[in-house]
Chains A and B, each alone.
Chain A
Amino acid sequence: DAGVTQSPTHLIKTRGQQVTLRCSPKSGHDTVSWYQQALGQGPQFIFQYYEEEERQRGNFPDRFSGHQFPNYSSELNVNALLLGDSALYLCASSHIGQGRQGSSVGELFFGEGSRLTVL
């Protein structure tokens, strides 16, 4: 059973460029969330996709956009890169309804991340 896979694992860009990161969720999962993790910080929620639509968004500018495909895989796009966008970008998948203790909320399964460096 393949877990969450992300690509690329590492990439270097320069300011002003654009980047696309890709994610395939764990088998059986239909929901994909993207997080940004700066060094020494916890993951910050960017947005979540479900049924090919952005269902919720964190406090990130419109330069951050995404997409979910019919096979549940997802892309994160960042335009006009800034130095401050350098971080580990984590994709996490989940499935509503696979919770515990009577909850419909299950845990997130993370991919290994894409480490973006903006020069």
Chain B
Amino acid sequence: GQNIDQPTEMTATEGAIVQINCTYQTSGFNGLFWYQQHAGEAPTFLSYNVLDGLEEKGRFSSFLSRSKGYSYLLLKELQMKDSASYLCAVYRLGTYKYIFGTGTRLKVLA
């Protein structure tokens, strides 16, 4: 299967920390990607995990556990501009497909 599950919506306060979870059931896993998409715009790449563990990139970090089929995106020191949809995507080896979840709409409140 290739189900990817993410929460539909989340709300957080400016300056806070938020964790967006993603679970997947897919065989032939080769990488997990996180993208940010502002309304009406194209997705932009945030982070990528192939191996288990935490990848840190400024205010954004992403974690992967391949055995659990689980990833999360951690956003620190939230800013209003972080209000966007966050898409989790899985690449399946040999299929050339990046399979996207439905995205999590994050609202950052002042």
- Chain A residues packing against B (C-beta within 8 Å): 31, 33, 35, 40-45, 48, 50, 55-56, 58, 90, 92, 99-103, 105, 107-113
16 contacts between A and B (CB under 8 A): A33-B98, A40-B102, A42-B101, A43-B100, A45-B97, A45-B100, A58-B97, A100-B48, A100-B50, A101-B49, A101-B51, A108-B43, A109-B45, A110-B42, A110-B44, A112-B41
B91 beta carbon closer than 8 Å to chain A:
yes
* B97 neighbours in A (Cβ, 8 Å): 45, 48, 56, 58
Hey, what's the 0/1 contact readout for B22-57 against A, CB within 8 Å counting as 1? 000000001101010000011111001111000000
Number of residues in B with C-beta < 8 Å to the partner? 27
Q: How far is the CB of A1 from chain B (nearest CB, A)?
A: 15
Structural contact, A43 and B45, CB atoms closer than 8 A: no
Q: Are A105 and B30 in contact (CB under 8 A)?
A: yes
Chain A residue nearest to B93 in the complex (CB)? A105
Would you give the shortest CB distance from A47 to chain B, in whole angstroms? 9
Closest beta carbon of chain A to B59's beta carbon, Å: 18
Contact between chains at A107 and B50 (CB < 8 Å): no
Q: Establish whether residues A107 and B102, one from each chain, have CB atoms under 8 Å apart when the complex forms.
A: no
Specify which chain B residues have a CB less than 8 angstroms from the CB of A35 in the assembled complex.
100
Name the CB-closest residue of A to B105. Answer: A40
